[in-house]
Amino acid sequence: MRIKNRKLAELTPYPNNPRVNDGAVESVANSIREFGFLVPIVVDKSGVIVAGHTRAKAAILLEMTTVPTVEAENLTESQINAYRLADNKTAEIAEWDFDKLKAELDALSDFDMTQFGNFDFPDEDETPIKTGTFKEKFSVVVDCENEEEQKTVYELLTSAGYEPKIISI
């Protein structure tokens, strides 16, 4: 792998990029500002971005003129299109070990980690949902003839300790 610094103006965003990344640009820019540009932008032989659209937008925000790139010269056009999707999708699959994450964040008292995005923890009584699994819920639907009856049923369930939700359809 050969890293080559290229002018940002020479790179072309992939016009059909399915990833909506504007919400991450500022956090990525903060990361680049703090740590440097450690992950190059992957481009094809024409300079079209394969992976790294968010990093490119962050570089623009930081008013950079050159960025490190890697050319995907050994991939076919089909492989490039597949990699463009796989690069984003595989990052979504990973999960946090919340105990270790908390310990790591607690140890970083000299960094404001919120500048890189929020680290959301599940509620104490909530089990994190794992990939490929789901948290089962049970519901009861009661059809009422009118709002008066709906109010009566709601009050009965509330007084019995339930947390009913009113839905009008």
| Ordered structural domains, the chain, with CATH | 3-94 (3.90.1530.10)
Tokens matching residue 44: 């094809």
pLDDT per position as a tens digit, 8-27: 999 999 999 988 999 999 99
Using CA atoms, how far residue 12 sits from 33, 41, 51, in Å, is 23, 11, 11
pTM beyond 0.75 = no
Instruction: Taking each helix axis as running N to C, give the angle between helix 53-61 and helix 25-35, from 0 to 180 degrees, rounded to the nearest 10.
Output: 70
Q: Which amino acid is at 117?
A: G
User: CA-CA-CA-CA torsion for 16, 19, 23, 24, nearest 10 degrees?
Assistant: -110
* Distance from C-alpha of 142 to C-alpha of 163, rounded to nearest angstrom: 14
Tokens matching residue 145: 């003839």
Sequential pLDDT tens for the chain (169 residues): 899 999 999 999 999 998 899 999 999 999 999 999 999 999 999 999 999 999 999 999 999 999 999 999 999 999 999 999 999 888 888 888 888 988 998 898 888 888 888 888 887 665 555 555 545 566 777 888 888 888 888 888 888 888 877 776 6
